[in-house]
Amino acid sequence: MKRIAKFSLSCVMVLALAVVPASAITIDLSSLPGGGIQFSGAGSSFDLLGSPFFPNPVFPLGAQMWVAGGSGGFTGSSIAYQASVLGGPFTYGPISVSGVDERALVTGPLGTFTLWDGAFALTGTVNWLEVSTHGSVGSLNAHHIINVTGITYAGADPDLLQLAATSTAMLNLSFQYGHDMTLTQLTTGSGPYVTSFSATISTEMVPDGGTTLALLGLGLAGLGVWRRR
């Protein structure tokens, strides 16, 4: 009887471990010199600018950002890789104001995120979701919601393979002007307004819902057997 109890308890422990999400990978991105985020000033739109100092076969007009670091499962294999979000300018709707917070939904178009390892490109479709400012600090996708889908990658870089493993990710961007520029001012001023930015792209490896529920059910069943023993 004691052997059965120990075996059942072990099954529960193994199944519990199976439903715990694996560690996430976060890749930190910084704008390249000469690049940046630009608000139109005369309309409700923004765009990311490529750096004229960093042209390459994938970004002939210059990449917008480079990999500066990371965390979680980040190995550092992708340090200094170049990336861009193409497809702009991106437009946004009416601005809502709450105290010093101003935000608006990005209405489109969808963009294409490309991260190039020198031989292969990781790509995904970007929906910026929301643009907001808090005083002089601004952000895109500040709520860290999945906004990159359909990620594909045919190369062998460890960091990029982790990023592509679930085919979805969260791309978040932040920027800050030298003096307080609200979203309203960036939208209605004479512009255009350009500044540097930083960004992160991150993902989390989790089992699909059906697998999780099945494993949890088996774990609970095993626990019931152990309690009866």
d(CA 65, CA 223): 51
Q: What is the pLDDT of residues 104-133, one digit of tens each?
A: 999 999 999 999 999 999 999 999 999 999
Question: Can you give the pLDDT at residue 43?
Answer: 83
Question: Can you give the pLDDT at residue 209?
Answer: 44
Mean of the per-residue pLDDT values for the chain? Answer: 84
Q: What is the pLDDT of residues 11-59, one digit of tens each?
A: 333 333 333 345 699 999 999 999 999 999 888 999 999 999 999 999 9
Query: For residue 62, is pLDDT > 60?
Result: yes
Long-range contacts, stretch 52-58, CB < 8 angstroms, 24+ apart: 54/82, 56/82, 56/116, 58/82, 58/114, 58/116, 58/121
Pairing relationship of beta strands 101-108 and 90-92 according to DSSP bridges: antiparallel
Tell me the C-alpha to C-alpha distance, in Å, between residue 12 and each of 70, 205, 206: 34, 22, 19
Query: For residue 214, is pLDDT > 90?
Result: no
Long-range contacts, stretch 211-220, CB < 8 angstroms, 24+ apart: 212/19, 215/15, 215/18, 215/19, 216/15, 216/19, 218/11, 218/15, 219/11, 219/12, 219/15, 219/16, 219/19
Question: Can you give the pLDDT at residue 161?
Answer: 98
Confidence (pTM) = 0.80
Q: pLDDT band for 189, please (50, 70, 90 cuts).
A: confident
Pairing relationship of beta strands 45-49 and 65-72 according to DSSP bridges: unpaired
When pLDDT is averaged across residues 198-203 and rounded to a whole number, the result is 97
Written as six digits, the tokens of 176 are: 């800050």
Query: For residue 1, is pLDDT > 70?
Result: no
Question: Can you give the pLDDT at residue 19?
Answer: 38
Query: For residue 219, is pLDDT > 50?
Result: no
Q: pLDDT band for 226, please (50, 70, 90 cuts).
A: very low
Question: Can you give the pLDDT at residue 147?
Answer: 98
> Which residue, 37, 50, 41, is CA-closest to 192?
41
Question: Can you give the pLDDT at residue 205?
Answer: 55
